[in-house]
Amino acid sequence: MTSPSAPSEPLEPGIPMPPVASARFAIGDVVRHRLFDFRGVIFDVDPVFANSDEWYEAIPEDARPRKDQPFYHLLAENAESSYIAYVSQQNLVVDDSDEPVDHPAISGLFERFAGGRYKLKPHHRH
């Protein structure tokens, strides 16, 4: 296995694959955005940016995260609403409130909340 900073085997001769950072968070973890006032539970992870260029370029340039890091899909909430968020690893921190997330889709994916995280329902595991 290669280290995260070393290039992987090339896809084609002479073209190395870019390094991929290790995911710091897992499905079921409750996290908080580092800059904005929202939190959520992770329900999917992309090893690198996998959204549209339009979405990426809508982020102000001085706040745009690098694409070569994990991005997380969250069932998110703030004081006004619940929604789906797509957030870079650099902008997430562990939510240590030990409070459940209030999102209507949680019961469809997760079976219980304990120890600050959610357990994925068996039929959603790979």
Please state the domain extents for the chain: 23-124
CA 41/CA 44 separation, integer angstroms: 9
Is 100 a residue whose pLDDT tops 70?
yes
35 closest CA partner among 64, 57, 73, 58: 64
Largest CA distance in the chain: 52
pLDDT of residue 123: 78
pLDDT tens-digit readout, 23-40: 999 999 999 999 999 999
CATH 2.30.30.390 for the 23-124 domain, yes or no: yes
CA 51/CA 55 separation, integer angstroms: 7
pLDDT tens-digit readout, 37-79: 999 999 999 999 999 999 999 999 988 999 999 999 999 999 9
Residues belonging to the chain: 126
pLDDT of residue 11: 52
Q: Quick one: average pLDDT of 83-110?
A: 96
Per the listing, tokens 């499905």 go with 27
CA 83/CA 73 separation, integer angstroms: 11
Per the listing, tokens 């102000």 go with 60
DSSP 43: E
